[in-house]
Amino acid sequence: MTMEKDIHPAAAGQEANAADAAGPATERSAFQRLMTVTVGPIVAAFLLSAIILMLVGINPLTYYGYILERSLLSGLGLEQTATRMAPLLFLCASLIIAFRAGIWNLGTDGQFLLGAVASAAAAPLLVGVLPGWAVLLVGFALAAIVGAVWSIIPALLKAYQGVNEIITTLMMSFLGVLLASTLVKLAFRDPATTVPQTRTLPVEDRLPRLFDTTISSGLVWGLIAVLLVHLMMTRTSFGLRLRMVGANPVAATHAGLSVPLLTLATFGLSAGLAGLSGASEILGVAGNVPANWNPAYGLMVIPLVFLARFHGVGAIVLVFFYSALLIGSESAARRLGVPQNFTLVLVASLLICLGLGEYVDQHKRKKER
């Protein structure tokens, strides 16, 4: 139980269980901590962003009102929000595995794009050759394999040489982004178009929609991925082994675990899910990959996973609100003349406030001791 606390001391589910066992005093403590490290930073980030908006002459209430109206209060906006969630959920699953196992996989953008390009290159060629379900299955499988393969070098260097994976995964991410763009322009370019892009998967051959809406069924698979990863990392012996390696590799070795092999497995699973994220975007929504396309979803999702305390259900909730923010900010930007990248300012504010919340929480804990 001590090891569990060291690996993810702020997991929401564990805090709730501890509160139930310890009584009202612990419940108050858990509530205060929730306000300090989660709710508080969110509110503070919105207030800080509101101040910035006022400084540039924009009414923050109007800006946030447009976001709410466009993303949640309209039927089409809600459908677009739900569809945007799919790739972000796969990335959340990818990062939850890595971070809970003590691995900093910061190469998800490269893995995402290479997985997207692999599925976009293969799926249109298989239409008419294989059944529709098989085309999608092959596209997803190729994306997962390509994403996992792209993590081999950082994984081997980490597992057998102890090289810091932050540096290697970032380097491989930059290379992956450039390689994906090069492949689109050369090897996988659609000869029928003047603008470089891959062949387009017909709409009728993409992932089916949900309940006669525009919501891609990739949303369902993304939800399943996050929940399965959460259960694997918290309820299975394999997940416990991965967490042991991240918490204390020396102790894991003395316990008879193969640290290098578990490190390789962590990289493979995390990067494979990042590749699936790219496939869900292409096979479910876009249908092709244009040259120089890079939505940078991987770096966007990192603060959400941390804010959720690596908890699957918490990550789903935050992804929903973040997707609504992305969809709504596009409309607000057009109406009010605010740059669309202002969403990144809000995310940066959230990171700053999250760090301050962590500092305050740690300071309180030291005083209690």
Q: What is the pLDDT of residues 224-247, one digit of tens each?
A: 999 999 999 999 999 999 999 888
Residues 6 or more apart from 171 whose CB is under 8 A from it? none
Is a pLDDT exceeding 90 seen at residue 114? yes
Q: What is the pTM of this model?
A: 0.86
Count CB-CB contacts under 10 A for residue 327: 24
Estimate the crossing angle of helix 24-34 against helix 12-22, to 10 degrees. Answer: 160
Contact 275, 111 (CB under 8 A): yes
pLDDT score recorded for residue 14: 44
Question: Given pLDDT bands bounded at 50, 70 and 90, which one contains residue 353?
Answer: confident
φ/ψ of 120, rounded to 5, equals -70, -30
Is a pLDDT exceeding 80 seen at residue 38? no
DSSP per residue, 283-327: IIII-S-BTT----HHHHHHHHHHHTTT-HHHHHHHHHHHHHHHH
Contact 95, 352 (CB under 8 A): no
Residue type, 274: A
Q: What is the pLDDT of residues 261-312, one digit of tens each?
A: 999 999 999 999 999 999 999 999 999 999 999 998 998 898 889 888 899 9
Residue type, 321: F
Question: Given pLDDT bands bounded at 50, 70 and 90, which one contains residue 17?
Answer: very low
Farthest-apart Cα atoms in the chain, separation:
69
Is a pLDDT exceeding 50 seen at residue 85? yes
How far are the Cα atoms of 163, 232, 241, 272 from residue 311, in angstroms, in the given order? 28, 12, 18, 20
Contact 202, 135 (CB under 8 A): no
Is a pLDDT exceeding 70 seen at residue 161? yes
- Which range scores top for mean pLDDT: 28-32, 113-117, 302-306? 113-117
Question: Given pLDDT bands bounded at 50, 70 and 90, which one contains residue 368?
Answer: confident
Output the average pLDDT for the chain.
87
